[in-house]
Amino acid sequence: MTALAARPVRLLWRDPDGRVRSWVPQLFARYANGAGLLADCPSSPTTGGDRAQRAQAVLEAACVRVGWSYRRLEPPPAVVAANLRWLAGYRHPRNQGPPGLRAALAEVFAEPRPLADGAAVVGDPLQVLPAVYHALWRGHLTTALEEPLREEALVCADAERAGGNVEKRPDAGGGQGKG
């Protein structure tokens, strides 16, 4: 993916009875190969009801005409959504901490270890934890987002070394290209 935009366009069309309808897809993604994707990310599979289903058919047809694709994405599981909401609260660069803290976190979490233990090794957890959460959001540290993000959650700086049990968090939005 080379670009990501939120609420990129409003599509207008006339339905069979002549009424003007519109829909604003939630995301546009541009891939390195030039392909485009319009996507909606509903909070539940039924969000939008019949209106969303009618819009989906129109969006799919419009995307085909311009060489893009359209997808209505499944909402993430509740635990993943809660973890991402929590981490998103730490996405701002002010949470990365003072110079050198990111390197200290990478060193402490070179091997998987519990979040609270690693934070305590680096320094005062009240000062270090925002940097840990920021690093998780940015993908500098990784953890399994399918499990509640608690003090015992295993965190690692290297997804490969974590044995595939740790999910790499891609950078997304606000520095978040997710950050």
Across the chain, which has 179 residues, the per-10-residue mean pLDDT values are 93 93 95 94 85 92 95 92 96 95 96 96 95 96 96 86 44 37
3-state secondary structure of 38: strand
Q: What is the pLDDT of residue 49?
A: 87
Do 61 and 115 fall into the same domain?
A: no
Is there a contact between 78 and 88 (Cβ–Cβ < 8 Å)? no
Do 66 and 126 fall into the same domain?
A: no
Q: What is the pLDDT of residue 160?
A: 54
In a domain, 169, yes or no: no
Measured distance CA(5)–CA(124) in Å, rounded? 37
**Structural domain count, the chain:** 2
In a domain, 44, yes or no: yes
Q: What is the domain extent for residue 95?
A: 78-156
DSSP state letters, 51-112: HHHHHHHHHHHHHHHHTEEEEEPPPPPHHHHHHHHHHHTT-SGGGG-STTHHHHHHHHTSS-
- How many other C-beta atoms are found inside a 10 Å radius of the C-beta of residue 154? 19
Tokens representing residue 176 in the block: 């978040």
Q: What's the CA angle centered on 126, arms 123 and 131, to 5 degrees? A: 75
DSSP-derived secondary structure letter, 4:
E
Q: Which amino acid does the sequence have at 136?
A: L
Do 112 and 132 fall into the same domain?
A: yes
Q: What is the pLDDT of residue 176?
A: 35
Is there a contact between 132 and 78 (Cβ–Cβ < 8 Å)? no
Q: What is the pLDDT of residue 44?
A: 82
State if pTM tops 0.85. no
Do 87 and 149 fall into the same domain?
A: yes
Do 15 and 68 fall into the same domain?
A: yes
Do 61 and 83 fall into the same domain?
A: no
